[in-house]
Amino acid sequence: MQFCLRKYVLIMKNFFCLLLLFCTLQIQAQEKPHIILIMTDQQRGDCLGKENAQIFTPNIDKLADDGVWFSNGYSSVPSCTPARAGLLTGMSPWKHGMLGYYKVAEKYPYEMPQILRDNGYYTIGIGKMHWHPQRNLHGFHQTILDESGRVESPDFESDYRKWFKEQAPQLNPDATGIGWNEHRASAYVLAENLHPTYWTSQTAIDFLKEYKDDKPLFLKVSFARPHSPYDPPKRFLDLYKDTDMPAPFMGDWANEFAHYPKDKDAAFGDYGVAHALNSRRHYYAAITFIDEQIGRLVDELKRKGMYDNALILFVSDHGDMLGDHNHWRKTYAYEGSTRIPFIMKWPNSDDTGQISKVEQLHCVELRDILPTMLDVGGIKKPNEMDGLSMMSIVRGEKQWREYIDLEHATTYDSHNYWCALTNGKTKYVWFFRTGVEQLFDLEKDEGEEVNLLTDGDYKKELKYWRTRMVKHLKERGEPYLKSGKLNTFDKNILISPNYPQ
């Protein structure tokens, strides 16, 4: 009898120990912050109300007020797929391997959804991923896709297009008639609730309403706009009918790009100020439409009690030139193409206060997002991952990088093959095909309208940035450098040796 009693006590003791361990693990899982990544496609950095009084983005601005807006946020390879590769991997262009527009590799050693999933997160992506194959999950438990009509995998049909057929079987989702890379513009001709911007936010909100898992959540919400077509609903366009839109910046070096053949989706050309202003008005309205949807999404996070204990990041993959310097679309070294909105609200940000104005000027880049997520989630960052956690800025722990590297392999025209460096105050651009150099003082010349290459007052500055560029390209060797100097060459190097084969 005594033996049975001791055995019973031992069993109960072990049971309660296991129960305590289980409860502790559950509490730890629940306390782990949620991670919400909100993306737009092709939104330039100056298209936030925080910076530009001509655009209305009150909900995004409020998110910045609850955290921080980094005014020098950049996309190192400013076109869709390489930018998303940097975001996915936490790597610089040379390390993840995409130096221009190419297919995102099927598998990388470290991938955002997979590494978060492996560490206890439920992972879901909604909207545009732009991966290959298009149903590749990269570790997501699930994706619900809108790929802007793009079909790059056999028999692919996006979830948005399937939904549209069910909601409006007699209608054409492309009825507005503006192409995916055009810079013409028009108000959306269908009901607002059929627009992909509304579908993306509503799909995310519906998911949140039903989310009851004990796991912390990683939710990526990726809007396909304001990337063309510039097609906002009319009520948003009406908000801008009396707004003085900013005219395109026009550099003293830009005339050579004015006389390209005119086409509705041309990458270069002078289409007149009126055309550019019309494109901008629709583009701004498309962003305000997205802003309203982000407000709805944030309201649902608050209703669910998830907002305070969440890392929330808002970025775009790259910008849009909108006629600056007679350039359209992206892939260029200039601020309209490379600089992006970059906002972070960290968990319980009210407890840690605001970071300084000086720290807000640090150059951050898409490669820094995954390391930041890992930091907040208590996950060790792999040594190979060369992005940095932006939480170190919040905590004031260490000195940030001095400058960020930018580049893009040949796109649209043979001359458009370049590498650039910037610290947010100065930008140096080197063109690999032509040997052309550009130097801009961004503090005095935010539109990069004056190339300071021959200005004697900047001779020392030019030499300084040339030296930095040589240092940056040193690990690549030839043909980037020859005899320790910057080199011109005809080969187009689209991927680095680090691209996963």
387, part of any domain: yes
Q: Are residues 25 and 162 in the same domain?
A: no
Q: Is 80 known to be catalytic?
A: yes
Helix axes 196-210, 273-303, angle to 10 degrees: 10
Q: For residue 47, is pLDDT > 90?
A: yes
422, part of any domain: no
Q: Are residues 16 and 38 in the same domain?
A: no
377, part of any domain: yes
Residue pair 270/327 in contact (Cβ under 8 Å)? The answer is no
Looking at the structure of the chain, the number of domains it has is: 2
Q: Is 130 known to be catalytic?
A: yes
Q: Are residues 40 and 88 in the same domain?
A: yes
Q: Please tell me the predicted confidence (pLDDT) of residue 17.
A: 45
- Which pLDDT band, with edges at 50, 70 and 90, does 501 fall under? confident
Buried b (16+ CB within 10 A) or exposed e, 416-450: bbbbbbbbbebbbbbbbbeeebbbbbbeeeebbeb
Q: Please tell me the predicted confidence (pLDDT) of residue 65.
A: 94
Q: Are residues 20 and 120 in the same domain?
A: no
Q: Are residues 141 and 228 in the same domain?
A: yes
Q: If DSSP codes are grouped into helix, strand and coil, which group holds residue 237?
A: helix
Q: Are residues 178 and 242 in the same domain?
A: yes
Q: Please tell me the predicted confidence (pLDDT) of residue 324.
A: 98
Q: Please tell me the predicted confidence (pLDDT) of residue 379.
A: 98
Q: Are residues 22 and 157 in the same domain?
A: no
Place of tokens 């070294």: 333
Q: Please tell me the predicted confidence (pLDDT) of residue 123.
A: 98
Q: Are residues 147 and 17 in the same domain?
A: no
- Considering 34, 96, 130, 282, which one is annotated as catalytic? 130
Domain boundary among 358, 386, 402: 402
Q: Are residues 19 and 152 in the same domain?
A: no
Identity of the amino acid at 375: D
Domain boundary among 334, 367, 402: 402
Q: Which residues pair with 156 in a beta bridge?
A: none
Domain boundary among 368, 385, 402: 402
Q: Please tell me the predicted confidence (pLDDT) of residue 350.
A: 61
C-beta atoms surrounding 381 within 10 Å: 19
- The CATH code of the domain that includes 92 is 3.40.720.10
Task: Classify the phi-psi angles of 120: left when phi > 0, otherwise alpha if psi is within -120 to 50, otherwise beta.
Answer: left
Candidate from 203-217, 340-354, 442-456, 480-494 with smallest mean pLDDT: 340-354
Sign of torsion over alpha carbons 248, 253, 259, 265: negative
- Considering 47, 80, 363, 419, which one is annotated as catalytic? 80
Q: Are residues 133 and 2 in the same domain?
A: no
Average pLDDT over residues 115-134: 97
The domain in which residue 24 lies consists of 1-31
Residue pair 485/82 in contact (Cβ under 8 Å)? The answer is no
Average pLDDT over residues 10-26: 47
347, part of any domain: yes
Q: Please tell me the predicted confidence (pLDDT) of residue 398.
A: 75
Q: Are residues 24 and 114 in the same domain?
A: no
Q: Are residues 7 and 36 in the same domain?
A: no
- Which pLDDT band, with edges at 50, 70 and 90, does 396 fall under? confident
pTM to 2 decimal places: 0.93
